[in-house]
Amino acid sequence: MHVYATPKLGVATSRKSHNFIGIKNHKASMSKSKIFWDNASKNYDKTEERFEYIHHKSRENTKKHLENSHVVLDYGCGTGTTSCEIADRVKEIHGIDISTKMIEISRGKAAAKNIENITFTEGDIFDEKLKRESFDRILAFNMLHTVTNPQNVVQRIGELLKPDGLFISVTPCLRDKMSFLVGAQIRLVQVLCRIGIIPVPIRRLKSSDLDDLIANGNFHSVDTEKIYKDASSYFVVAKKKSKT
């Protein structure tokens, strides 16, 4: 399941939705998504190979903004490829994903490479175990076009980042340039989403939509790049605005 067809998922709910119905709906949505990604995990890496240019470019861009003292959160870490590749650049990495199977694969990769500064945990960005202002960098690769409420996710990321922290994201822009084949795949996936076969909300964003999302989330962009290889992705590094 490629990120442009069936992307990684972190289901987000409003932090203000504390009523029973909201919690019940959130748990139901999480359960469906978790099952979907558990089933997809076995072939996930293979299905991502087609867009390796975009993934590799995003990882190389990210490395420019890392230091060996940094504590990093990899939100929606999938099978842990990015975390494992950047581990030698930082102090420690905490990878989270709602899929148990994805986390198992991630842990296997880290163990096979003898990487000791990574922990992979099943969970999402709204887990109360994640402490405010505890991360120097938060990564969200191929996530923002799939969450229920991107504004709440960005707000939560701002809470978790240290005052001088950076939010690093790369997001497929499904309303920007793409090949005919990828466009056909997207239309098929949209149909599958509408009939409930794929329990993932997929947003058709433009890069300008992401600029607005970041700006409205109390961040300002410090580095951006549009990356294209059969489909368009938007790489963004954003810094928390200082409190006034």
Residue 166, pLDDT score: 98
Residue 16, pLDDT score: 35
**Below-70 pLDDT ranges, the chain:** 1-30, 244
Give 113-143 pLDDT, tens digit per residue: 999 999 999 999 999 999 999 999 999 999 9
Query: Where do the structural domains in the chain lie, given as residue ranges?
Result: 20-240
- Is the pTM of the predicted complex or chain greater than 0.75? yes
Please write down the long-range contacts of 73-76, taking CB distance under 8 Å and 24 or more positions apart. Answer: 73/130, 73/135, 73/137, 73/138, 73/139, 73/160, 74/139, 74/141, 75/10, 75/125, 75/138, 75/139, 75/140, 75/143, 75/157, 76/8, 76/9, 76/10, 76/140, 76/141, 76/142, 76/143
Q: Which fold has domain 20-240?
A: Rossmann fold (3.40.50)
Residue 181, pLDDT score: 82
